[in-house]
Each structure stands twice: as C-alpha cells, then as structure tokens.
C-alpha cells in the first residue's frame, strides 16, 4: 500500500476516534486498538518525514473544548497527554535516557486511572474553578458547578494557600457504574459502555444534580501550579496535597530500572482489586527541577511516560447460553463460562449482546473461547478456537418467543455498529412492566404524580398490578393500599399514609381526562414518541380509529414515517394490547381526540412549524398546542417542507439549517403577531 495513502487513512481514523473518545465520550475501539494505529502512524511518519504535517494526530493532544458543556477557559498550565510504552524494553530505554541526562534520578510509579482529566483551581484555600482538558494546550471547558457535586473534591483546603492548581482524574467506581446502567436500562435509556464513558458524559451534563446522584470520585496526580509554597519533588507535593484533603495517587519511589519494572508489575498484579478501572502505570521523574530542565514537546512531557498493560486474555469453555429479558424488553444472550481468573477477578459470564454478535463469532455451546475484560471491567468473548470445537454442536439462535412471558419476540435493527436487537412484543411482560409503568406515569405521558419507581416496585411486589390497565382499578383497593403502606414507609402514621394514598388516587383520576397523544406516548411504543402522538391526535377522532388504520393512512400523515407507522400497526395487532385498551376505556380513561374539531381558526392551515431553543414566555408544549389549535402542523426536523422555524434562546443546529434553506425564522413576538 502507498505510504501517503496509508498515512492519510490512519489520520482520518484517529481523528474520528479522538472525537468519539474526547468529545462524545463514546469510544468505538479499545485503547489498545487505538494505540496500535497511532504507533503505526508514528512509524510511517518517521520513515517519511516529508509527509509529516502539524495537524497530524501524532502532533497534538486528543480533543477540543466543547462549548455546549460550559464556557471555554484558557489553560494556565498545559494539560498534556503522555507518551505510551508497551514493553519492558521501552521502559528500560526511558529510564536509561533519564539517567544519561540527569545523572542519578529518582522515579515515581503510579497507577494510571481510566477517567476524565480535570484541573482544579483554588485561591486562598477556596475552590474557585474546575476545567476539563479540552484541547490540552489552549482551552478546556468550565465544569465548576458539576465538580462541586463530587464529595472527594475539598471545597476548602486545610491551609489558605494563595493560589493552587492541581490535576486529577475523575472516575466512577465499578459498583456505582453498574447501578447507573441498571437505572438507564430501567428507564429505557442507552446504557454506557464503560465507567470512563459514563464519568465523562456525566461531568459534561448541564444538571449538577445528576452528577451528585452518580457519585463521581477524583484522584489527584499532579501539582500544576502553586503560589506561597515551594516543593522539591513530586512525592512531596502528593504528601502535602493529601494533608490538604485531596485523595491522591498511591505511589512507589524507585531508583533502578528493575525497581521501576517491579512497581509496574505490582500494579498489574493487583489491578483487579481496585474499585475503579486502570489502563496502565505512569512513570515520572520525581525531582521538579529535573522536570523543568527536561521540559516538554508540543504534545507530551519529556519527564514521564505511561506503560499500557496489554489486555489479559484467557481460554475457557462455553457451558451454556441463556437468554435474559431486560426491563426494556430486549432479549440478551449470556454465555455461561467455565470459571476463569482474569484481571484479578473470577469470570463466569460474558454478554453476547445480540444475534449479530453470536453469528459474527459463530460461538456455540461447548466451544473453547478467548475471553478478555474490556476496559478491565466487562468480560467479553473475543474469538472461538474452532480447532477445539466438539462434534455435534450447532449454531445458537435466540428464540422467537420471550422466555419470560412466551409472547412473540421480534428483531429490531438499531444501527450497523450496534447490530440488531430482539425484543419481547408484550408491553406487560413481567420483565419490563416496571419500566413501562414508570414511563406511563411520567410527565410527558399520563403525568400521574406520585407513581414513581418506589411506588411502582411496591405495587408489583404486592401483586396490585399485573398489567398497565390495573392502575385505573387501584381506587377499588384503597384500604389495602393504606394497610400495606404502598405510598409511604410502613412506620408512617396511618393518617399520613391515607393522605399520600388519596393524593395518588386523585392524580390517577385526573389523568383519565388527558388527550389521546398522552396515552399513546404512555404505551411506550418503539419509534412512536411525543411528535408522532401529536400527529395521531390531530388526524384521528379516537384511539380505535388509529387501531383500525392501515399503514398507508398513517404514512400519508405529513411527518409520520414508515417505521413509526409499522410500529403502530404491530403494537395494536397484539391481542393483549387491545385487551388493555378495552379495560382502560371501561375504567373511564379518555379515548377521544380533543384536537379534532377543537381548532380556534385556520390561520396557520398549510403551515409546518419546527421549534428550537427556549421561548421567553411559553413552554414548547404550549407553543405546539397553540399552533395545532390554529390548524398548523409541527415537525421535528427542518426540511424544504418547513414553513417557519420558531426559535428561542440557545437555538442550535436547526437554526443554521433553516437559514441555509431560506426558511423564515420567527421569534415568539413574530409568532403571536401572525395569530393576531
């Protein structure tokens, strides 16, 4: 292959994966695979120096500051990355080079935490600002409000140091990560691939309360800048920072190459005992004056390297493949393995994700497989050793019936990277009923105040609810609900439990009067959200008209796609869903559209609106309702068919696209003037 072609190909791939890792917090390849590509590029560029350009991924730190996560803050001290090494020989070369340049230096070896790097700034002992690495050289993102939610960050130091800047790694404990993913699945949201992604995504959120709920932690590993104190060594700075209230890196002091390597191996041998992910060890020159003498390149310090541990892999056997059903209805195949020790823990299970993954690996019961821990946390099967396959095996096929309730299971394509999922079609399947009930009661659906996760779990546990429609028959069991303290603690006074029970029953009663788009959204039909529900409400007289609609009728609705139409048809084909509808109707839940024949006038007839940003005096729901009452239509995306873009503060990419297409942009005042 032509060297120039391969260099350009590697640069494009690395820049793509840089964006996925640093800016989107959703890497698609392992660190090991990324490092292999980077090393290949470095080798090619050294062999062809005429092809080296300043924009190459080998010449700069990973990502860029994302303005939507917080305002850009200039770095006082660059937050550089480290040069990665992968063998003992490379570590020995580094130690030897330092000895030649410095005489007899002391080294520090520390665990390398797999998290998100941040800088914390203190003035007169008070925490004043925190920023992400961003581009590492010029700017990072201001995430101060979120960092204040991390309990391990001291808000006030033991000493009133005039100015202090430290660098640390924000991470998420493995147990916390599992809890967060369980909640994500329960709420029907996408689960995180690993703790690093989850920590990074959480820290960039606009809601600090979510950061507090997800219990992020931080370990400080470097002093960036200080005024009012002097230090001679890195070890001295860590000891001082520990006394100030910081959780700091554990370190080992080494003098010889053998001691350095022994420290690296010691971390490797115990990394399974850490409560958080490690992806290597860091080797640093201890003397701060020696560091100053060595300086940095444009990308890395010359006084430090990172040794990356190769992913540990072991052989084991697949004893069985079981299929579990998650709270979203997804059927997930799980390989039951002959127990094997891997990265410090015993592994006996590995997710096979979906049928596409099973087919790609061609993994069968009885196979001998290679198992690795992704990000040192999640076991995964890498490959099958076909030479060891026993006779008589057959390909594994996920069943087309739900193993929990026996209902049909259908294949749903997500995207090429994630493959296809297989889903139980029964919304009242016990495995996913809790998630459905929580969604049904949420504000964007039936808005039943008081029917949250704790109450839902209690209702299911005590057998009050077997399917969705049972919510509207709870009124007949008021005394039982009070007796079992479903809406409160068992130790609460009966009068308090009575009040909370009556409050819940009143909220359920009020929800009966909702328009049918709320009910449609509450069913949690895949690919049928708020916008689709609104279209159905505006074009059909009642729920049963929608049940009897053909796919052609649905697709003819402006903005209603074929995928959503098929989802509606498939949902109402299920007998159990028609049974639920009938019980809801018998309980007095509204089944008629309030939008049909309820228009004020036709002033917006023929106009299609897209909304973006925050309006000054009305919510988006209120604006949508007003548009519909004046015979206008609403679309979720800007296209040539869009008539107006109603834009508020912080309008995003929709505004840019509308301007490019020459679509008229309205403020809230402009919109109200049209209605006059």
Strands laid side by side in the 163-171 sheet: 126-132, 116-123, 163-171, 217-227
Q: Which helix (H) or strand (E) holds 497?
A: helix 494-511
Q: Which helix (H) or strand (E) holds 552?
A: helix 551-555
Q: How many CB atoms lie within 10 A of CB 208?
A: 16
Three-state DSSP at 311 gives coil
Whether 633 contacts 615, CB under 8 Å: no
| Spatial CB neighbours of 129, under 8 Å, sequence gap ≥ 6 | 73, 120, 121, 142, 144
Whether 517 contacts 527, CB under 8 Å: no
What positions carry a catalytic annotation?
A: 112
**Bridge partner residues of 169 (DSSP):** 117, 219
CA dist 473 and 495 (Å) reads 22
| Spatial CB neighbours of 231, under 8 Å, sequence gap ≥ 6 | 223, 237, 240, 288
CA dist 335 and 186 (Å) reads 22
Q: Residue 111 burial by CB count (10 A; 0-12/13-18/19+): exposed, middle or buried? A: buried
Which is it for the CA torsion 230, 232, 238, 239, positive or negative?
Answer: negative
Residue whose structure tokens are 């940095």: 296
| Spatial CB neighbours of 334, under 8 Å, sequence gap ≥ 6 | 321, 322, 323, 324, 349, 350, 351, 352
Q: Residue 89 burial by CB count (10 A; 0-12/13-18/19+): exposed, middle or buried? A: exposed
The DSSP code sequence of 570-582 is HHHHSHHHHHHHH
Whether 151 contacts 135, CB under 8 Å: no
CA dist 33 and 374 (Å) reads 12
Whether 615 contacts 623, CB under 8 Å: yes
Burial 114-130 (b: 16+ CB within 10 A, else e): bbbbbbbbbeebebeeb
Return the structure tokens found at 536: 């159905």
Q: Which of 626, 652, 653, 635 is nearest to 644 (CA)?
A: 635
Q: How many CB atoms lie within 10 A of CB 71?
A: 10
């Amino acid at each position: 292959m032509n060297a120039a072609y391969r260099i350009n190909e590697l640069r494009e791939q690395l820049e793509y994966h840089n964006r996925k890792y640093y800016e989107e917090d959703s890497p698609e390849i392992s660190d090991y695979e990324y490092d292999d590509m980077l090393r290949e590029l470095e080798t090619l560029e050294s062999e062809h120096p005429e092809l080296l350009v300043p924009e190459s991924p080998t010449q700069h730190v990973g990502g860029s500051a994302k303005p939507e996560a917080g305002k850009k803050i200039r770095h006082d001290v660059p937050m550089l990355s480290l040069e990665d090494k992968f063998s003992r020989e490379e570590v020995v070369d580094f130690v030897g080079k330092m000895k030649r340049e410095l005489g007899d230096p002391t080294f520090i070896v520390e665990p390398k935490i797999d998290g998100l790097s941040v800088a914390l700034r203190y003035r007169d002992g008070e925490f004043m600002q925190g920023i992400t690495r961003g581009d590492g050289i010029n700017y990072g993102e201001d995430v101060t409000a979120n960092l204040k939610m991390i309990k391990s960050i001291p808000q006030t130091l033991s000493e009133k140091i005039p100015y202090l800047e430290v660098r640390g790694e924000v991470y998420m404990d493995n147990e916390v990560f599992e809890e967060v993913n369980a909640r994500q699945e329960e709420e029907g949201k996408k689960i995180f691939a690993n703790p690093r992604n989850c920590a990074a995504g959480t820290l960039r959120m606009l809601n600090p309360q979510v950061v507090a709920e997800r219990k992020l932690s931080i370990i400080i590993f470097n002093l960036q800048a200080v005024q009012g104190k002097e230090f001679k060594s890195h070890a001295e700075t860590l000891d001082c920072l520990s006394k100030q209230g910081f959780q700091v890196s554990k370190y080992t002091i080494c003098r010889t190459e053998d001691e350095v390597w022994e420290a690296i191996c010691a971390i490797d041998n115990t990394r399974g005992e850490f409560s958080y992910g490690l992806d290597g060890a860091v080797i640093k020159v201890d003397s701060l004056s020696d560091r100053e003498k060595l300086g940095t390149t444009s990308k890395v310090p010359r006084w430090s390297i990172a040794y990356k541990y190769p992913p540990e892999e072991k052989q084991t056997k697949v004893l069985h493949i079981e299929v579990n059903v998650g709270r979203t209805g997804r059927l997930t195949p799980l390989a039951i393995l002959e127990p094997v020790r891997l990265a410090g823990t015993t592994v006996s299970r590995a997710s096979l994700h979906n049928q596409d993954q099973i087919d790609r690996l061609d993994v069968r019961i009885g196979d001998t497989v290679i198992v690795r821990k992704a990000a040192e946390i999640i076991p995964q099967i890498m490959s099958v050793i076909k030479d060891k396959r026993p006779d008589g095996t057959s390909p594994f096929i996920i069943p087309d019936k739900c193993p929990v309730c026996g209902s049909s299971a259908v294949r749903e394509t997500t995207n090429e990277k994630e493959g296809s999922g297989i889903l139980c079609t029964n919304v009242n399947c016990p495995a996913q009923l809790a998630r459905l009930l929580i969604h049904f009661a949420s504000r964007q659906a039936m808005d039943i105040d008081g029917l949250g996760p704790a109450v839902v779990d209690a209702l299911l546990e005590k057998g009050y609810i077997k399917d969705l429609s049972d919510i509207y028959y709870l009124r007949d069991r008021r005394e039982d609900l009070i007796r079992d303290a479903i809406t409160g603690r068992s130790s609460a006074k009966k009068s308090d439990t009575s009040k909370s029970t009556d409050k819940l029953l009143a909220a359920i009663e009020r929800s009966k009067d909702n328009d049918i788009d709320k009910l449609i959204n509450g069913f949690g039909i895949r690919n049928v959200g708020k916008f689709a529900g609104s279209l159905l409400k505006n074009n059909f007289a009642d729920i049963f008209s929608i049940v009897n609609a053909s796919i052609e009728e649905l697709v003819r609705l402006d903005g209603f796609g074929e995928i959503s139409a098929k989802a509606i048809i498939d949902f109402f084909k299920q007998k159990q869903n028609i049974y639920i509808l009938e019980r809801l109707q018998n309980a007095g839940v509204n089944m008629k559209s309030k939008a049909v024949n309820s228009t004020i006038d036709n002033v917006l007839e023929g106009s299609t609106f897209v909304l973006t940003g925050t309006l000054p005096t009305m919510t988006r729901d209120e604006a949508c309702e007003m548009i519909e009452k004046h015979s206008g239509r609403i679309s979720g995306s800007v296209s040539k068919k869009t008539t107006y873009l109603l834009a508020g503060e912080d309008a995003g990419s929709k505004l840019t696209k509308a301007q490019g297409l020459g679509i008229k942009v309205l403020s809230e005042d402009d919109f109200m003037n049209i209605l006059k």
